[in-house]
Amino acid sequence: MRLNKYLATAGVASRRSCDEVIKEGRVTVNGNTVSDLSTFVDVELDKVEVDGRPVHVKTKDVYILLHKPLNYVTTVKDEKGRDSVIDLVRISDRVFPVGRLDYDTTGLLLMTNDGELTFRLSHPKFGVEKTYVAVLNKKITEQELIHLRKGVVLIDGKTAPCKAIKLSKEVVQITIHEGKNKQVKRMFRKLGFKVRELHRTQYGPLHLAKLKYGQWRNLRPPEVQALKKAVGLD
């Protein structure tokens, strides 16, 4: 099996992203660093590692919904040694976060070993909506909300139109379908606000509902089907 397909099948990332992982020299096969995209591996005999951690071809697709707590990173490995959401989901299958929630952001986080689904959910062209509740440092006016809805000019481009509803004087529910780095916080900062708390309540068809802080559960089959339908995999 070609190495990039092996990594994608193992749930490391999409095949295209796995190409980058290989070119960066992060993959070893039987202890030897490999950067050649044409490399083939034997599924049963070869030992494959990414960033020093063993990678195995998955035996089944796993889909997990986690209520991410404060002060956890959404990366597999953190250079600062901070706690990772990976540590909260203790299962035998290796899963990875879909996208990121900041260290100080809480709420709904999807984790899976389905590389193709991860790629499509993360790609802006599929327009998967993400809903957050932001607690601001001061009152927001209707005029400022209108500005927010129309899009805000950031250093990496203007954001697409979004949905924004004022829940109280300093609390806004905002729904976006892009994935710019720290986008929600930056949008409010552009308008002169600081986000004191940020919590994600919905990701596409998935709702956090009554899942408690720090807990996780497997997605139900209809939820998996709804996710796949949202990105054209049904």
**Statement to judge: residues 77 and 187 lie in one domain:** no
CA distance 205 to 35: 38
CATH at residue 137: 3.30.70.1560
Q: Assess whether pLDDT exceeds 80 at residue 45.
A: yes
Residues 6+ apart with CB under 8 A from 197: 106, 134, 135
CA distance 86 to 76: 6
**Statement to judge: residues 111 and 226 lie in one domain:** yes
**Statement to judge: residues 157 and 182 lie in one domain:** yes
Q: Assess whether pLDDT exceeds 90 at residue 140.
A: yes
Q: What was the pLDDT predicted at 42?
A: 85
Q: Is 2 helix (H, G, I), strand (E, B) or coil?
A: strand
Q: What was the pLDDT predicted at 58?
A: 64
- Is 102 a known active-site residue? yes
Q: What was the pLDDT predicted at 77?
A: 75
Mean per-residue pLDDT over the chain, rounded: 92
pLDDT digits (tens, 9 = 90+) for 183-232: 999 999 999 999 999 999 999 999 998 899 999 999 999 999 999 999 99
Q: What are phi and psi of 202, to 5 degrees?
A: -150, 145
Cβ 75 vs Cβ 51: under 8 Å: no
> Which of these is catalytic: 61, 78, 93, 102?
102
Q: What was the pLDDT predicted at 124?
A: 83
**Statement to judge: residues 77 and 172 lie in one domain:** no
Cα torsion 137, 141, 144, 146: sign:
positive
pTM (2 decimals)? 0.76
Print the domain residue range for 80.
63-97+107-122+209-230
**Statement to judge: residues 149 and 92 lie in one domain:** no
CATH at residue 219: 3.30.70.580
The distance of Cα 64 from the centroid of its chain, to the nearest Å, equals 12
**Statement to judge: residues 220 and 192 lie in one domain:** no
pLDDT digits (tens, 9 = 90+) for 54-77: 888 766 889 999 999 999 999 877
Q: What was the pLDDT predicted at 194?
A: 98
Q: What is the arithmetic mean of pLDDT over 79-90?
A: 89
